[in-house]
Amino acid sequence: MKENLIYRTFDVEQWLDDADFLQWVKHPGQELDAVFIPMLNERSEVSIKMRTAIDLLRNMDQTDHQLSDKEVAEMWENVSNRTLNSKKLLNHYSVWKKVFLSGAAVLLLAIVGTLFIVWKNSQQVDYFTLAKQMMPNTIKDARLIIPGKGSMTLSNRMEVVLGRDGKISLRSAQGEMVSLENSVSSGKEMGMLVVPAGKRASLLLADGTKIEVRPSSQVIFPVKFGEKKRELFIQGEAFFEVSKNKHWPFVVKTDRINVEVLGTSFNVEAYSGNKEQSVVLVNGSVKVNTDGRNAIRIHPNQKYAFNEDHQIETVEDVDVNLYTSWKEGYFLFNSEKLNVVLEKLSSYYGIQFHYQEASMDNIRLSGKLDLNNSLEVALKVISTTTPIEYQLEKSYVKINVRH
């Protein structure tokens, strides 16, 4: 048994590797209770790390596949190898100073292990369980997770490139590219790209499909597509330019809708907690199916929307630029309600707005808002063109209407 002072220096990974702690979590007893419960009940960083480790261990216990000692050892080895490989890459390519491969065993055990388990045990991927493993609002930089390969923290606007041979490469915003060592995939892994507020990232899939991922969004995808269809999952918002292949359908799934295409460009918006999910078609043709209803086909310059509260589907003609301009680095508005504008800023910058909704009903905004600027600059622009004033608080922004 280690001294109490030693335990207080532990990070999450060390808690997960401590035999006494593991024994206590699985089989609590009076002797171990006396050691761990006082620390767990503290309001301290030690308690937070302990609780994180406990949650991860219990999450692992709930899976229907028990990891063997060999599998755990292999995961740890992958972590070590990945960390060493990243150091070699960073030393050789200075442009990748902001790209590093995480040595967090917690991440691999909780996320990579879960991804591996779900894909191995079922042909039907449980996207919803996977998405909960790492949410955009829990991280500060974009993350790429590939089972058995490691976790990578990406610099802003980085593109992940998946090769036909299963090799994974990264392309910086400046266009420089490097292949990750030992990244050849067996073809059955499910990867996840998670993009937090204020960040951007993109995916270039092996079939040539390009996906621009908006802030506060995540995409779960197979490193190699199956033979019958190309399927992935999104939560948040992304713009798709799908490589055409009439014999190989491309399916985008959310928690509510399925979008099936053969080759086209479209935007999908499906943020967790939003009442409405939508698909805006730029070119081509898509079929949208929601909760087992009859599929609806939409055409270029049309928007399909599903309102969860009223269980209503609608299709309308729209200016697609109003829904896709974000990928060019700006929001475009045409007499848009101010509360809708604030919702878009909230998801992009990751900040909550507090205001009286009724007071916003008659305030409209038109024009272009540059997303390369900070939130405060955006608010200053809005406050000069509309009768509002804002106050930046610690965790939210308060909006008042000037009278």
Token pair listed for 30? 């009076």
Return per-residue pLDDT of the chain as tens, 403 residues: 556 677 877 777 678 778 888 889 888 888 888 888 888 888 777 887 788 778 767 655 544 444 444 444 444 344 334 433 433 433 333 333 333 333 333 344 444 444 443 444 345 677 877 787 788 988 889 999 877 666 788 989 999 999 888 788 899 888 888 887 655 555 567 889 999 999 999 999 999 999 999 999 999 998 888 888 999 999 999 999 999 988 899 999 999 999 999 789 999 999 988 889 999 999 999 999 998 889 999 999 999 999 998 899 999 999 999 999 999 999 999 999 999 999 999 999 989 999 988 888 889 999 999 999 999 999 999 999 999 999 999 889 999 998 7
User: CB-based burial of residue 204 (10 Å sphere; 0-12 exposed, 13-18 middle, 19+ buried)?
Assistant: middle
Q: Are strands 250-253 and 257-261 parallel, antiparallel or unpaired?
A: antiparallel
pLDDT value of residue 59: 55
Strands (E), 36-149: 100-102, 142-146
Domains of the chain: 4-61 (no CATH), 69-317 (2.60.120.1440), 329-401 (3.55.50.30)
pLDDT value of residue 93: 36
User: CB-based burial of residue 93 (10 Å sphere; 0-12 exposed, 13-18 middle, 19+ buried)?
Assistant: middle
pLDDT value of residue 269: 97
pLDDT value of residue 58: 67
pLDDT value of residue 278: 97
pTM higher than the cut 0.75: no
pLDDT value of residue 4: 66
Residue partners of 371: CB distance under 8 A and separation at least 6 = 326, 329, 330, 331, 348, 378
